[in-house]
Homo-oligomer: A and B are copies of this chain.
Amino acid sequence: MPSDLAEYPRPSVAVDVAVLTVTDRGLAVVTVDSRWGDALPGTFLHPGETLADAAGRALRTKAGIEGLAFHQLRMFDAPDRDDRGWVLSMAHSTEVAASALPPQGRTVDVEHGRPTVPMAFDHADMVAAAVADLRTRYTDAPDPSGLLGARFTLLRLRRLYEVVFDRTLPKDTFRRHALGAIYGTGELTAVDGGRPAELYERRPGASFPRTMAALLGG
């Protein structure tokens, strides 16, 4: 615990937010254009502001995204990470359905946990941390961030998990594991070449059985 408010030079403190989404090509991350190339939306911390406030402001003003919940990943603090000076940056992440993003926004594909193009500063490492964090949270509960929106078929849920965990999953076993944490609405999808599928919703507060981790992980 610091014993005196020291008079040392202080670092600038910034925030950056990795917003992951799923396109027809797989995982992707929202980026903005910058002098350093593709970058995560970010900003400097304003006086009296919390990191969460700053991150929300960055999403709103840089990426046109409003009302998303996100969380801290970790602080990126290499002294030379920003050539403009001493800048610490707290990386945040979240996920959102592609349909909820502003239509003209730019995204960069993510493969094997990393962005497919070079990114500004250490933002590629932030994306990698966001994907690792995504996997951890998606192991515990069905699409907790709502990448699929409120209602989805079991096929869409399974395809999402196959993209996130980069492996194929058996349809019947996956289904039986998932059914404890979601419930059928009785409503059916419009068909496309086969029996219509039921639409499911997340059971509030529900989580997967512990055994789902084994299915997903190995």
Which residues of A pack against B, CB within 8 Å? 1-3, 5-6, 8-14, 16, 32, 34-36, 39-52, 62, 72, 74-75, 77-79, 84-90, 120-121, 123, 210-211, 213-214, 217-218
Q: Are A36 and B1 also in contact (CB < 8 A) when A44-B6, A49-B79, A50-B79 are?
A: yes
Residues of B with C-beta under 8 A to A88: 13, 51
Q: Quick check: A45 and B11 within 8 Å, CB to CB?
A: yes
A123–chain B nearest beta-carbon distance, Å: 7
**Residues A13 and B14 in contact, CB atoms below 8 Å apart:** no
Contact of B210 with A48 in the complex, beta carbons under 8 Å:
no
- B residues near A1, Cβ cutoff 8 Å: 14, 16, 32, 34, 36, 39-42, 62, 120-121, 123
Q: Are B34 and A50 in contact (CB under 8 A)?
A: no
Partner of A86 from the list B16, B32, B48, B52 (CB cut-off 8 Å) is B48
A75 with B72: in contact, given A1-B34, A10-B10 (CB under 8 Å)? yes
CB–CB A13/B16 < 8 A:
no
Q: Determine if A51 and B35 form an interchain contact, defined as CB atoms under 8 angstroms apart.
A: no
Contact (Cβ within 8 A) B34 A3:
yes
Given A210-B210, A217-B210, verify A5-B87 contact (CB < 8 Å): yes
> From A119, which residue of chain B is reached at the shortest CB distance?
B1
Instruction: Report the Cα distance A34→B156, complex, angstroms.
Output: 55
Most chain B beta-carbon neighbours within 10 Å: one of A10, A90, A121, A218: A10
Give which listed residue, B11, B47, B51, B210, contacts A75 with CB less than 8 A.
Answer: B51
- A2 and B77 contact, Cβ closer than 8 Å, known pairs A88-B13, A213-B210: no
B79 touches A9 (CB 8 A): no
Query: Which B residues are in CB contact (< 8 Å) with A87?
Result: 2, 5
Complex interface: chain B residues within 8 A of A78 (CB): 50
CB distance from A61 to the nearest CB of B (A): 10
Shortest distance in angstroms between A85's beta carbon and chain B's nearest beta carbon?
A: 6
Nearest neighbor of A48 in chain B, beta-carbon distance:
B79
Smallest CB separation, A45 vs chain B (Å): 7
